[in-house]
Structure 1
Amino acid sequence: MAGHTRFSKRLEGIFPEKRLFLKSDDATRFVRLSSGTQAAMAVGGAALLTWTAFASAMVLITSLGAGEARDQAARDQQMYAERLNALSLERDARAEEARAAQERFTLALDQVSRMQSQLLASEERRSELETGVAVVQSTLRTAMEERDAARAAEAEATRELAALTGTGTTEAAQMRDLEQTLAFLTDALTGTAAERDGLQGAHGAATAEIEELLLSQQLTAERNNRVFELLEDAVTVSVAPLERMFEEAGVPADRILEEIRRNSSGQGGPLVPMSFSTRSLPQDELSYRTEQILAGLDRLNLHRMAVDQLPFAMPVKSAFRFTSPFGYRRDPKGGGTRMHKGTDFAASLGTPIYSTAEGVVVKAGWNRGFGRMVKIRHAFGYETVYAHMSKLRVKEGQRVSRGERIGDMGSTGRSTGVHLHYEVHQSGKPVNPMSFIKAGKNVL
Structure 2
Amino acid sequence: MPKRLVNSLNASLERWLPEKRLFLRSDDATRFVRLRPATQLLALGAVTTVFGWTLVASSILAIDAVSSGNSRDQVTRVQSAFEQRLAELSQERDARASEALAAQNRFTVALDQVSEMQSKLLASEEERRELERGLKVVQSTLRDAIAERDTAKQQTAEAQDSDSTDRSEEFAVALDILSGELRNTATDRSQARKEAEEAKLAAQELQVERDQIIARNDQILTQLEDAVSISIEPLDKVFRSVGMDPDDVLTTIRKGYSGQGGPLNPISYSTRGDAALSQGETKANKVIVTLDQMNTYRIAIEKLPLAMPVLDSFRWTSPFGRRWGRMHEGVDMAGPVGTPIYATGDGVITFAGRQSGYGNLIKIKHELGTETRYGHLSRIRVKAGQRVSQGERIGDMGNTGRSTGPHLHYEVRMNGRAVDPMSFIKAASNVQ
Normalised by the length of structure 1, the TM-score is: 0.53
Q: Do 1:347 and 1:409's aligned partners in 2 also have CA atoms closer than 8 Å?
A: yes
Does residue 325 of structure 1 match 2:324?
no
Closer, same or farther in 2 for the Cα pair 1:188/1:383, shift >3 Å?
closer
Q: Residue 353 of structure 2 contacts residue 360 of structure 2 at CA under 8 Å; is this kept in 1? A: yes
Instruction: Name the residue aligned to 2:349.
Output: 361
- Taking the aligned partners of 1:439 and 1:374, their CA distance within structure 2 comes to 23
Contact map agreement 2:378 2:399 (CA 8 A) in 1: yes
Rounded to whole Å, the distance in 2 between the matches of 1:238 and 1:300 is 8
Match of 1:315 among 309, 312, 337: 309
Q: Give structure 1 stretches of 5+ with no counterpart.
A: 1-103, 165-182, 330-335
Question: In the alignment, which of 202, 209, 219 is matched to residue 202 of structure 2?
Answer: 209
Judge conservation of contact 1:116–1:278 (CA < 8 Å) in 2. Answer: no
Q: For 1:192-231, list aligned pairs within 5 A.
A: 198=191, 201-219=194-212, 221-222=214-215
Q: 1:229 offset after TM fit, Å?
A: 6.0
Q: Match of 2:391?
A: 403
Aligned residue in 2 for 1:269? 259
> 1:317 & 1:245 partners in 2: Cα distance?
22
Q: Partner residue of 2:28? A: none
Tell me if structure 1 keeps the 8 A contact 2:309–2:341.
yes
Separation (CA, whole Å) in 2 of partners of 1:289 and 1:299:
15
SS of 1:397's partner is coil
Q: Secondary structure at the match of 2:327?
A: strand
Whichever residue aligns with residue 122 of structure 2, its letter is E
Q: Aligned AA for 1:128? A: E
CA contact (8 A) 1:120 1:278 kept: no
- CA deviation after TM superposition for structure 1 residue 360, in Å: 2.7
Deviation at 1:344, TM superposition (A): 2.5
Residue 356 (structure 1) shift = 1.9
What SS is found at the alignment partner of 1:205? Answer: helix
For 1:287 and 1:199, how far apart are their aligned partners in 2?
38
State how far apart, in whole Å, the 2-side matches of 1:358 and 1:315 are: 13
Q: 1:343 Cα deviation (Å)?
A: 1.6
Cα separation, 1, equivalents of 2:203 and 2:253: 53
Whole-Å Cα distance in 1 between the matches of residues 115 and 253 of structure 2?
37
Provide the rounded CA distance (Å) in 2 between the counterparts of 1:138 and 1:429: 84
Q: How does 1:134-149 map to 2 (within 5 A)?
A: 135-136=134-135, 139=138
Assess, with a 3 A threshold, how the Cα gap between structure 1 residues 395 and 206 changes in structure 2: closer, same or farther. same
Distance 1:270 1:223 in 2: 32
Structure-2 change in CA distance of 1:207 and 1:400 (3 Å): same
- Counterparts in 2 of 1:237 and 1:281: CA distance versus 1, 3 Å: farther
Give the number of the structure whose alpha-carbon radius of gyration is greater.
1
Residue pair 1:386, 1:421 contacting (<8 A) in 2 also: yes
Count of residue pairs brought into register by the alignment = 322
Q: Which runs of 5+ in 2 are unaligned?
A: 1-102, 162-175
**TM-score between both structures, scaled by the size of structure 2:** 0.54
Pick aligned residue for 2:300 from 291, 296, 306: 306
Superposed CA offset, 1:2-61 (max 9, x none): xxxxxxxxxxxxxxxxxxxxxxxxxxxxxxxxxxxxxxxxxxxxxxxxxxxxxxxxxxxx
Residue 341 of structure 1, aligned match among 315, 325, 329: 329
Deviation for aligned residue 1:328: 2.9
Deviations 1:188-222 (A, max 9, x none): 99979966874564344223311232234335545
Partner Cα separation in structure 1 for residue 182 and residue 347 of structure 2? 94
Query: Cα 1:139–1:228, aligned 2, differ >3 Å: closer, same or farther?
Result: same
1:245-264 mapped onto 2 (5 Å cutoff): 245-262=238-255, 264=256
Distance 1:140 1:261 in 2: 63
Cα 1:274–1:401 change in 2 (3 A) is farther
Aligned to 1:243: 236
- 2:247 corresponds to which letter in structure 1? D
Matched, 1:432 2:388: no
Q: How big is the shift at 1:246? A: 0.9
The range that moved more, 410-419 or 392-401, is 410-419
What secondary structure does 1:441 align onto?
Answer: helix
Between 1:248-257 and 1:283-292, the stretch displaced more is 283-292
Q: Does 1:351 find its partner at 2:339?
A: yes
**One-letter code aligned to 2:378:** S
Q: Distance in 2 between matches of 1:441 and 1:386?
A: 22
Q: Separation in 2 of the partners of 1:399 and 1:188?
A: 90
SS at match of 1:402: coil
Matching residue of 1:85: none
Between the two structures, name the one with larger relative contact order (CA 8 Å, sep ≥ 6). Answer: 2
Change in Cα spacing, 1:212 to 1:434, as seen in structure 2 (3 Å) is same
